[in-house]
Amino acid sequence: MELRLILGDQLNAGHSWFRTPDPAVCYLMAELRQETDYCRHHRQKVLAFFAAMRAFAAALTKAGHRVCYLTLDESAPWPDLPSLLAAQIAHHQAERFAWQSPDEWRLASQLTQWAAGLAIPAREVDSEHFLTPRDGWRRYPHSRMEFFYRALRKQYKVLLDERDQPLGGRWNFDSENRARLPERQPIPATLTFANEVSDIDAMLTRHGVATIGTADASALPWPVSRRQSRALLEHFLAHCLPHFGRYQDALSERGWSLFHSRLSFSMNSKMLHPLEVIRAAQSHWQANQATITLAQVEGFIRQILGWREFVRALYWEKMPDYGRVNALGAERPLPGFFWSGQTRMACVRHAIQQSLDHAYAHHIQRLMVTGNFALLAGIHPDEVDAWYLGIYVDAIEWVELPNTRGMSQFADGGLMGSKPYASSGTYLERMGHYCKGCHYEVKERRGPDSCPFNSLYWHFLWRHRERLGSHPRLALPYANWDGQPTSRQQAILATAEHHLLHLERL
């Protein structure tokens, strides 16, 4: 008998393992304290993964496969994955062991080292999910995501004409994807699910699993099955895609999902395949070009075919050292309001509170609000990573780490992005509506009532001038700084220093 391990983010019904039931194969799935405790997760994240795992195990059983599923109650005797696997191999009298390649470095190294000491044959197989192999960083153009993205567009024939050139004559419509959301623009209703997970919630409480955020265990809103994931995809195509690209960077308090798909949890847990989503988006656009422009669908596909594959390639090329880089020498602790949302900065308060309430924030909230603030304030990337990895339902290290430590915090020195994603309050005012009701004045750069993003932005550029001063893309802001009177510069820096000394009070 062969015992096959399925991890919580390997819920891929289309995997070749599952084509035909085999009585000589047993699939092992387990809820583990190792996985609930490696960081402090959002309550909805733990509930969603465990519920999706249980649904997947039930689907495999219904399809005729032999499944051994261990709840947190049943796996309690074993503190980690290796000890559980050793016990289950003995219990099932397994003669062989197999596992799918994990997506996280910690699990991949743990399993590889443990399997090397097994007395029975063991083999690792591909998870059959991603569009590039683990060594994709070396196989594709990797200097910047744009070139990586173009290579994959050609390989998979996505949005190309008969000459393999980009439809519309452009590879990238990003310049058309930065519109502010008009106050009267209708926003589609958010599709959520009412999954009953009270038994899982009670189990987490019984075992003392520490979590953050809030959750309604009687109506968990996230998709926990392939059927629900497909429904969410169809909802996005029909109601959100027509305006997605245009408003994908917009910041607004009018809704927590706006035009975003919220498919990342379904894809990162592998309930949906990325190429399936890409093909569905392209087909839907082709059939509805009267109402959906090319810029809308290209902006969506770029996030999956471009960024998603690019960050994974970078992750596997640079780990484990990537998890320790700190190019800007950031050392400050994460302010307590990241865990409570209690801050007078309206944009930060909304992004954090939304994250605590929904285990979700879209990419600009993550990058240009909470991430931007952490970058400007010089928060240690370890603390920023831990927060992002825990608070979001879709956060798995392979996708979180490059986006946070690299793109958001520039701690990798420029591997993910060519320059730091730093901005003053001007950008936030342009992209959202927070500033009107904020305690701080976005037009002011200095003084106690000035927007903290303003003085912190200039302080960030000032303190990192030796490293960033010669960067061609930062020539304009440095010229702006140099053109200001010395007295104004000193006042701005003094305001920033005061903010940095009293981050908890902002």
- DSSP states of 2-49 as a string? EEEE--TT---TTSGGGSS--TTEEEEEE--HHHHHTTT-BHHHHHHH
> Which of the four pLDDT bands, split at 50, 70 and 90, describes residue 201?
very high
Q: 48 falls in which pLDDT band (50, 70, 90)?
A: very high
**455 with 496: CB under 8 angstroms?**
yes
% residues pLDDT > 70 (the chain):
100
* pLDDT, mean over the chain: 96
Residues 32/46, Cβ–Cβ less than 8 Å: no
| Structural element, H or E, at residue 125 | strand 122-125
Q: What is the pLDDT of residue 178?
A: 85
Asked if residue 322 has pLDDT above 90, the reply is yes
| CA 20 to chain centroid | 33
Alpha helices in 196-272 (DSSP H): 198-206, 226-235, 241-247, 264-268
pLDDT at 233 over 90: yes
Q: According to the model, what pLDDT value does residue 136 have?
A: 94
Mean of pLDDT values over 124-147: 94
Is pLDDT above 90 for 429? yes
- Name the band, by pLDDT with cuts 50, 70 and 90, for residue 401: very high
Residue 222: pLDDT band with limits 50, 70, 90:
very high
Q: 156 pLDDT exceeds 90? A: yes
The pLDDT score that the predictor gives to residue 9 is 98
Q: Which residues contact 65 (CB under 8 A, 6 or more apart)?
A: 18, 21, 22, 25, 27
CA 233 to chain centre: 18
Residue 365 banded pLDDT, cuts 50, 70, 90: very high
Does residue 176 have a pLDDT over 90?
A: no
For helices 43-62 and 198-206, angle between their N-to-C axes, nearest 10 degrees: 120
How many other C-beta atoms are found inside a 10 Å radius of the C-beta of residue 321? 8
Q: What are phi and psi of 69, to 5 degrees?
A: -115, 130
Contact 102, 128 (CB under 8 A): no
Check residue 175 and give its pLDDT. 86
Residue 153 · residue 278 · CB < 8 Å: no
Q: pLDDT tier at 382 (50, 70, 90 boundaries)? A: very high
Split at pLDDT 50, 70, 90, the class of 143 is confident
* Beta strands per DSSP E along 320-417: none
CA-closest candidate to residue 241, choices 222, 266, 262, 268: 262
Those residues whose C-beta lies under 8 Å from the C-beta of residue 166, and which sit 6 or more positions away, are 153, 159, 160
pLDDT tens figures, 177-199: 889 999 899 999 999 999 999 99
Residues 308 and 151 sit within 8 Å (Cβ to Cβ): no
Q: Is the dihedral of CA 351, 355, 358, 364 positive or negative?
A: positive
Q: What angle do CA 240, 426, 371 make, to 5 degrees?
A: 65
Contact 61, 67 (CB under 8 A): yes
Tell me the pairing of strands 25-30 and 96-100: unpaired
Name the token pair of 352. Answer: 């954090």
Tokens of 180: 């502010």
Task: Please choose, from the candidates 446, 456, 320, the residue with its C-alpha nearest in 3D space to the C-alpha of residue 375.
Answer: 456
pTM: 0.96
Give the pLDDT confidence score for residue 177 in this predicted structure.
Answer: 84
Contact indicator for 371, 363 with CB cutoff of 8 Å: no
pLDDT given for residue 265 in this prediction = 98
Calculate mean pLDDT across residues 410-435.
Answer: 94
Terminal-residue alpha carbon distance, the chain: 60
| Dist CA 180 CA 353 (whole Å) | 21
Give Cα separations from 249 to 171, 179, 188, 268, 323 (angstroms).
19, 7, 16, 22, 27
Q: What is the DSSP string of 456-482?
A: HHHHHHHHTHHHHTT-GGGHHHHHHHH
Query: Would the pLDDT of 111 be above 90?
Result: yes
> Which residues neighbour 384 within 8 Å (Cβ) at sequence distance 6 or greater?
334, 371, 374, 404, 405, 408, 409
In eight-state DSSP terms, residue 165 is: -
Mind giving me the DSSP string for 276-295? HHHHHHHHHHHHTTTTS-HH
Cα dist from 65 to 5, 18, 493, 498, whole Å: 13, 8, 65, 62
Read off the pLDDT of residues 262-291 as tens digits, 9 standing for 90 and up: 999 999 999 999 999 999 999 999 999 999
Check whether 142 has a pLDDT greater than 90.
no
Q: What is the pLDDT of residue 168?
A: 95
Provide the total of helices (H) and of strands (E) in the chain, helices listed first: 25, 5
Q: Is 347 helix (H, G, I), strand (E, B) or coil?
A: helix
